[in-house]
Chain A
Amino acid sequence: AQSVTQLDSQVPVFEEAPVELRCNYSSSVSVYLFWYVQYPNQGLQLLLKYLSGSTLVESINGFEAEFNKSQTSFHLRKPSVHISDTAEYFCAVLGAGSYQLTFGKGTKLSVIP
């Protein structure tokens, strides 16, 4: 079984400041890792994912996350946030050979003008 911990339920940050949303996981098997974003009153959308290869993965809108196997982490970062980044962000893990994504409880990012 897998589990995901998102340490911060809410993160306020000023516009153009950097942000890090933390995600730690536990699993007894190898994993795939995902970050999904949910804008108000919408479904979730994939932001980025790590399956294999380079441990640093990037999204098209400037976010990046680094898979750290030794620390079992997959933190999400952006060097300069915009108002439009205000949303809830979910980290998720998929164990190898499984079909079931396990989601964290989410982190609400609020960007302050």
Chain B
Amino acid sequence: NAGVTQTPKFRILKIGQSMTLQCTQDMNHNYMYWYRQDPGMGLKLIYYSVGAGITDKGEVPNGYNVSRSTTEDFPLRLELAAPSQTSVYFCASEGLAGGGETQYFGPGTRLLVL
């Protein structure tokens, strides 16, 4: 199993551009999450999904959108990039039961918005 994979690894955007961060897991996990990590701030939850077709907002959803058309994929969309979205983005997945199980993290996408 590859686990959780994320693409791209790095990206530089100009203000106002859009992009999609890809996340795929091959563990048949129902639960998937997007976090952003800023220096000294820990991880903040952006969006999460409890299964295909079901998504919900986390702590910091503004400026982002998600979709979950399949169990495997959970892309994160930035429509109008802003400097405040410069961060490291992590996708994670969690097993069938969720809540208290182990979250498995991808390697991250480093985004710089100029």
Contact = CB atoms under 8 A, between A and B. Distances in A.
A42 interface: yes
Contacts, number: 53
Interface residues of B, number: 24
A101 B92 CA distance: 11
Interface residues of A, number: 22
Interface in A31-64: 32, 41-46, 49, 51
Interface of A: 4, 9, 32, 41-46, 49, 51, 90, 94, 97-101, 103-106
17 contacts: A9-B40, A42-B107, A42-B108, A43-B4, A43-B105, A43-B106, A44-B90, A44-B105, A49-B102, A99-B31, A99-B99, A100-B59, A101-B33, A101-B43, A101-B45, A103-B43, A106-B42
